[in-house]
Structure 1
Amino acid sequence: MTQYDFQTLAQLYRDTLLNDVLPFWEKYSLDEKNGGYFTCLNREGQVYDTDKFIWLQNRQVWTFSMLYNRCEQRENWLQIAKHGAEFLAKHGRDEEGNWYFALNQAGTPLVQPYNIFSDCFAAMAFSQYSMASGDKSAEAIAIQAYNNVLRRKDDPKGKYTKTYPGTRPMKSLAVPMILANLSLEMSWLLPETQLNQVLDLTVSEVMGDFLDKERRLMYENIAPDGSHLDCFEGRIINPGHGIEAMWFIMDIAQRRGDQETISQAVQVVLNILDFAWDKEYGGLYYFMDADGHPPQQLEWDQKLWWVHLESLVALAMAYRLTQRQECWEWYQKLHDYSWSHFADPEFGEWFGYLNRRGEVLLNLKGGKWKGCFHVPRALFLCWQEFETLSLTGKTTG
């Protein structure tokens, strides 16, 4: 296992973000004719599909706005964010203010607003964009989208749900975990009382309901009373979601000085890693069955970019907050695997999908689910974590 020092790591993440990943999206993703972004880009950056998926559009607005706000006020970053925000403000919502799932290239709706995450990422995007630009109309869009999320959180798909009512009700980890992160993103726009109420609720739900106290694993779906369901959906473990949720919880806990919750979240991260690491080929599985049965997802054994990137963020944050040696050992293990398998030094950006053996499965840099979000966000956050660690004079143990 390679040994790393914090300053070298900070420089690696910074240089890769600024000189490799962002230039890829700046060069290839802008639709200069219609507005918005192309996300379906092959390895070399060529567009292979022109449909526009709302949560990826909003995620790219968020990315460039966030970097303008937190990294450096580069005018071209603000203009790229504006390029997407104006397209989305014009085309992204139905008459009732719900955000569509997909549009065609020109902005005509393709897929109905069935997915609450379109609204989540709209709130994140327009919050950061309004902060960057000072645009009050963007601020209003952010608050409206956030209120949409709160309104729909207990019935995320509403009339678009496919399940038969009442037979097997369940709730999903995805909703409270994204609400936790979203609320922190929106903190500068929300009344303190409302913010604290939502954060209390999400932490309580994630750590109290979805966390199995005996196994110390995060379940993806549970019954409304918090019990487990013996079915495909009830047994599913999504390692990436569980680990990403834990760094969201750590983020809230450090804001509140809650060391007990930080320690609990860190331990959950370590338990998920132990459970989900492929001991034969390396890397983390995409889906697993809690009881060892065959998962229903046929792609269960693929290795995905975002799962590994969110794990790197969680481990870097966990080590800074606790100095636990296990966190540092796991970080190095994940770093070696991720940087040697997903990064593409020849054409830039990262591959998204590997087979179980770690070979590139899809020769793309963006698509319907992968856009300008997880890679740049993780690179930025890890850069900040290691910069902080290098400045404190702490050692790698």
Structure 2
Amino acid sequence: MKNYSEVYEQELINNVIPFWMKHSKDELGGGYFNCLDRFGNVFDTDKFMWLQAREVWTFATLYHEQEARSEWLEMARHGADFLAKHGRDAEGNWYFSLDQYGKPLVQPYNIFSDCFASMAFAALYKADPQEKYAKIAKDTFYNILKRQNNPKGKYNKAYPGTRELKNFALPMILSNLALEMEHLLDKKTVDDLLKSVIHEVMDIFYQQDSGLILENVNLDGSFSDSFDGRLVNPGHTIEAMWFMMDLGLRLNDQKLIIKATEIALRTLDYGWDKEFGGIFYFMDIKKHPVQQLEWDQKLWWVHLEALVCMAKAYAFTGKNECREWFDKLHDYAWNHFRDAEHGEWFAYLNRRGEVLLPLKGGKWKCCFHVPRALFQVAKTLQQVAEPAS
């Protein structure tokens, strides 16, 4: 597995990060260009706040944890300056998107802009401990906690009092954000949040009968027999399970690590396309047709998060099944998503594994899942000892 560690680190440093360093920085308008084609050409200048923040996080984290390269810190500061100047409304909520020069385009309806902004400035504070970064991170974080029970607020399209559901994505994100923010928060806040999110993820959304995690449940945690209530997103589950493993490590809770590993393995088996390979994007827990037309696409982040999950599961448990899944995922991901010719990785494949959209950055893809996964796998497997032959 140490050989894998070296391969992933080299891919991060020599192939992926140079692509973003070369093509994404907007010297004129500030921040980063999000929409890049296969070759790195800008095909749209709109800027999406959660993607801007993710790129800040990436470069700040690499500077702090990988290597203190001045150009990485400068890149992180460049994006943070744009975010701090333009990213929030008067109430401190983060817009969804801006134009190239920072004028708002889409209202702050999506709390994930706030989550990743908080994460970005917390990471930048580690790399460059200026109080202004800590303040933005903490102000945003406490605003998230205030909004967590009604994250969309006035932008919620659902009719009140009928089918009110809660979504898996926010507790999943908070389980990671709590650790990302820990150096800026008091111990009680962190401990209370960790207890809450672990309960939500592992007890409320986890279904004991199927061994799977649902994307939406009723407010009381019960099953909703509807499109949204039957929805399973294998990638979300698998990503959340490595968050749970990190929390298990932080809390010295091996039972949590083992349970997360079991759920991840079950989800991989459930979500794997037995005919064409790769992991399905969306599934219906009752095997009904899903409403998402992209249900059978193979997405970059799903497979990269699965690689991180299996690397951690193998490192923390030593289970050979995790090693076998890592090998299988590695072969699929590197043979289908990686662009050896022009750098970075493709995002969207059809069910057969053929490139569907040749973009490298867009409304949903940025400098985040690929570099984070490469970094996490390299770091996780660096110290894994191979069993004696």
- Return the TM-score normalized by structure 2: 0.99
Distance in 2 (CA, whole Å) between partners of 1:8 and 1:264 is 28
1:276 matched to 2:271: yes
Match of 2:387 in 1: 395
Give the AA of the match of 2:159.
Y
> Compared with structure 1, are the counterparts of its residues 42 and 396 closer, same or farther at alpha carbon in structure 2 (3 Å cutoff)?
farther
| SS at structure 2 position matched to 1:234 | coil
Q: Is the 8 A contact 2:2 2:383 kept in 1?
A: no
Structure 2: where are the runs of 5+ without partners?
none
Match of 1:13 in 2: 8
Give the AA of the match of 2:386.
K
Question: 1:394 deviation in Å?
Answer: 3.1
Taking the TM superposition and a 5 Å limit, the aligned residue runs for 1:184-203 are: 184-203=179-198
Distance in 2 (CA, whole Å) between partners of 1:316 and 1:216 is 21
Give the AA of the match of 1:63.
T
Match of 1:46 in 2: 41
| SS at structure 2 position matched to 1:110 | strand
Match of 1:318 in 2: 313
Question: 1:227 deviation in Å?
Answer: 0.9
Distance in 2 (CA, whole Å) between partners of 1:335 and 1:21 is 17
Match of 1:233 in 2: 228
Question: Which of 22, 29, 37 is residue 34 of structure 1 equivalent to?
Answer: 29
Match of 1:337 in 2: 332
Match of 2:352 in 1: 357
1:297 matched to 2:292: yes
| SS at structure 2 position matched to 1:361 | strand
Give the AA of the match of 2:294.
E
Q: Is the 8 A contact 2:248 2:256 kept in 1?
A: yes
Distance in 1 (CA, whole Å) between partners of 2:5 and 2:238 is 22
Match of 1:163 in 2: 158
Distance in 2 (CA, whole Å) between partners of 1:222 and 1:7 is 41
Question: 1:34 deviation in Å?
Answer: 1.3
Structure 1: where are the runs of 5+ without partners?
1-5
Per-residue displacement from partner, 1:15-59 (whole Å, max 9, x unpaired)?
A: 000000000000000000111000100000000000000000000
| SS at structure 2 position matched to 1:270 | helix
Give the AA of the match of 2:180.
E
| SS at structure 2 position matched to 1:48 | strand
Question: 1:396 deviation in Å?
Answer: 8.7
Match of 2:341 in 1: 346
Distance in 2 (CA, whole Å) between partners of 1:209 and 1:134 is 37
Match of 2:240 in 1: 245
Question: 1:395 deviation in Å?
Answer: 2.7
Per-residue displacement from partner, 1:241-260 (whole Å, max 9, x unpaired)?
A: 00011110110011111111
Match of 1:217 in 2: 212
Question: Which of 114, 118, 124 is residue 123 of structure 1 equivalent to?
Answer: 118
Distance in 2 (CA, whole Å) between partners of 1:394 and 1:20 is 27
| SS at structure 2 position matched to 1:232 | coil
Give the AA of the match of 1:164.
Y
**Which consecutive segments of 4 or more residues in structure 1 shift more than 6 A?**
none
| SS at structure 1 position matched to 2:109 | coil
Distance in 1 (CA, whole Å) between partners of 2:2 and 2:222 is 45
Match of 1:264 in 2: 259
Question: 1:322 deviation in Å?
Answer: 0.6
Computed over aligned residues only, the root mean square deviation of the Cα atoms, in angstroms, reads 0.9
| SS at structure 1 position matched to 2:355 | coil
Question: 1:388 deviation in Å?
Answer: 1.6
Question: 1:7 deviation in Å?
Answer: 2.1
Q: Is the 8 A contact 2:172 2:240 kept in 1?
A: yes
Give the AA of the match of 1:304.
L
Distance in 2 (CA, whole Å) between partners of 1:320 and 1:336 is 19
Distance in 1 (CA, whole Å) between partners of 2:129 and 2:118 is 15
